Amino acid sequence: MSHGSNSAGIYPFVAVAFSPKLRAHPFRIVKYEEFMSAELNIYNPEELGPPMGQYTHVTRVKANEFLFIAGMLSGDSSGNVIGDGDFDAQTRQVFRNVEAALKSAGASWANVVQFTTYLVHSQDIPKFMAFRQREFPKMFPNGKYPPNTLLIVDRLVKEQFLVEVQTIAAV
């Protein structure tokens, strides 16, 4: 029995990940064909009726890789809260941050398969819906909006934050 690691024998993909000759440089130009290697089918089954907001009931995904993006808040790159007390300003910054996270992985809004949204005040639901109605057609021009679960929570990590959006994408 060997006491050393033989993970490459058990998990052949590990050898690729740790081989300097086989590892891709972390920054490279990505062609559209590579960019959208995921197959997304976003739809509403008739049995569920129409969605009660600007989202779709189901996303079926075939992908090589998934991105799990932590809940984005309205902080800037220096850690400052953007839009303290202003729900609309915070929501705009949250989605800018989601977009930055997607781009950092070579992805775009077209790769998003699900959102989970956390609001601190139920009174902000109409403002959130207005944001989605205004901005989602620009973000998702094909009109297929990813499923979104909307939750009202007591508070977020800092008292000033009013909205947080967690995102799952497929590439």
Residue 24 lies in a domain: no
Q: Which helix (H) or strand (E) holds 127?
A: helix 125-139
Residue 9 lies in a domain: no
119: domain range? 38-170
How far from the centroid of its chain's Cα atoms is residue 58's Cα?
15
Beta strands 112-119 and 148-152 are parallel
Residue 14 lies in a domain: no
What per-residue confidence (pLDDT) applies to 36?
Answer: 55
Residue 105 lies in a domain: yes
How far is residue 152's CA from residue 19's CA, in Å, rounded to a whole number? 46
How far is residue 92's CA from residue 80's CA, in Å, rounded to a whole number? 15
The total number of structural domains in the chain stands at: 1
Residue 13 lies in a domain: no
Per-residue pLDDT reduced to its tens digit, 23-54? 444 444 444 444 457 888 888 888 888 887 77
Residue 16 lies in a domain: no
CATH label of the domain that carries residue 112: 3.30.1330.40
Residue 112 lies in a domain: yes
Specify the higher pLDDT residue, 143 or 55: 143
Per-residue pLDDT reduced to its tens digit, 113-132? 999 999 999 999 999 999 99
What per-residue confidence (pLDDT) applies to 10?
Answer: 43
Lowest mean pLDDT among 17-21, 143-147, 151-155: 17-21
Residue 26 lies in a domain: no
pLDDT at 90 over 90: yes
